[in-house]
């Protein structure tokens, strides 16, 4: 009987495997990536990796998150980026500073947001080490170089061009800058209307940079009702009424943000930037909480002092038993259920809420191209 020769293997068995893996990476890149920039409303945990007081890494943060653990999200559970990822059929974006953000995970996108930051570099200085917006953009540039090494430059450009982008800035430029102390440096420098014009002009430069870096579908949120959050009711409001000053600031900021979005889109000749009217989205349930299934929009679920609005949410704070019936989770941030209402409007809201179109329209349009 003839001996079977020993099987021989090619000298480079990994070449086919490399091509196969590269092909699967490119296929994955064809799913829509998602990039997030901004502050604590959208931070998925970058600040956990930084020496800063602006962190949400302890109980009871994350009490309703799938793992029941604090993740760095300023929420009892999922935040707005998580719920947008859910809507587009993607896993949640990882924080850019996470060691898990490598290999195939990069193709899902990345979250560059950092609690405490604003449009201006001097916003949030009390939080020490946070990722200011220009640094977030620099990380976006670094991200693209890392992905190019993985799938090539051409595919990376396509991935970024076809990605969805969310940017949330502005609230901290009032709460943690202009109105941080009774007579702040910025309030001495600018009357409120002039300050708003200044930060809007700076925001325009940031949005233009995002476009230069390849972003082509950008959801830009205005500020929410910053004068109506439990922290401001406790510190500035009278008899549980929203702070007039902070509401005036939001009322000046938001329409001017829509104006620069319209002007940028006109210059570009396409609807790259989408204005998200988070002020109106919040005010729906702030003014009529019961209509949305909340028992209160004044008292935070987690906190202490009047309206549970003083200080931070900590293990020693008051904690409500049912987060779903509170519009605000902590003194500044909406509960997961409130976030779900906001994302529902992002997806299907009318032009009052989403200008010039909602996210469902964008997804339908882009699926046809």
Question: Could you give the residue numbers annotated as active site?
Answer: 40, 330, 333
User: What tokens appear for 325 in the block?
Assistant: 């019936």
d(CA 229, CA 307): 9
Q: Are strands 273-276 and 354-355 parallel, antiparallel or unpaired?
A: antiparallel
d(CA 103, CA 279): 38
Cα 338 to the center of its chain, rounded Å: 15
Of residues 103, 92, 100, the one with CA closest to residue 43 = 92
Length of the chain as a residue count? 369
Q: Are strands 218-221 and 273-276 parallel, antiparallel or unpaired?
A: parallel
d(CA 184, CA 125): 13
318 φ, ψ to 5°? -60, 140
d(CA 12, CA 358): 51
Residue 168: strand pairing partners: 38, 221
Residue 354: strand pairing partners: 276
Q: At what angle do helices 14-29 and 133-151 cross, to 10 degrees?
A: 140
Q: Tell me if residue 34 falls in helix, strand or coil.
A: strand
- The answer to whether the CB of 308 falls within 8 A of the CB of 331 is yes
- The answer to whether the CB of 92 falls within 8 A of the CB of 44 is yes
d(CA 262, CA 316): 46
């Amino acid at each position: 009987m003839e001996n079977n020769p020993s099987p021989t293997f090619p000298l480079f068995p990994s070449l086919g495997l490399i091509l196969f893996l590269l092909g699967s990476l490119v296929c994955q890149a064809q799913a829509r990536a998602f990039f997030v920039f901004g502050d604590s409303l959208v931070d998925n945990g970058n600040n956990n990796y930084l020496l800063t007081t602006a962190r949400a890494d302890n109980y009871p943060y994350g009490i309703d998150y799938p793992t029941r653990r604090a993740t760095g999200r300023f929420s009892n559970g999922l935040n707005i980026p998580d719920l947008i990822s859910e809507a587009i059929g993607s896993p949640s974006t990882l924080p850019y500073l996470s060691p898990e953000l490598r290999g195939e995970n990069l193709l899902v996108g990345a979250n560059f947001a950092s609690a405490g930051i604003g449009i201006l570099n001097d916003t949030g200085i009390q939080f020490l080490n946070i990722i200011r917006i220009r640094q977030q953009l620099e990380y976006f540039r670094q991200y693209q170089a890392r992905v190019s090494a993985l799938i090539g430059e051409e595919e990376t450009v396509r991935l970024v061009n076809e990605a969805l982008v969310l940017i949330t800035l502005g609230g901290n430029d009032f709460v943690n800058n202009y109105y941080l102390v009774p007579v702040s440096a910025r309030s001495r420098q600018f009357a409120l209307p002039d300050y708003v014009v200044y930060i809007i002009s700076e925001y325009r430069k940031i949005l233009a940079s995002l476009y230069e870096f390849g972003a082509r579908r950008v959801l830009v949120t205005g500020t929410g009702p910053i004068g109506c959050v439990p922290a401001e009711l406790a510190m500035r409001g009278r008899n549980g009424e929203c702070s007039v000053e902070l509401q005036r600031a939001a009322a000046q900021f938001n329409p001017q943000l829509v104006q620069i979005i319209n002007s940028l889109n006109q210059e570009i000749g396409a609807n790259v930037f989408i204005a998200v009217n988070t002020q109106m989205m919040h005010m729906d349930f702030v003014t009529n909480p019961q209509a949305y299934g909340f028992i209160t929009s004044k008292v935070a679920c987690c906190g202490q002092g009047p309206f549970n609005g003083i200080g931070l949410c900590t293990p020693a704070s008051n904690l409500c038993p049912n987060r779903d019936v509170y519009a605000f989770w902590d003194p500044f941030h909406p509960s997961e259920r409130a976030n779900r209402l906001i994302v529902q409007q992002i997806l299907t809201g009318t032009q009052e809420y989403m200008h010039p179109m909602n996210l469902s329209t964008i997804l339908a349009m882009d699926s046809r191209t």
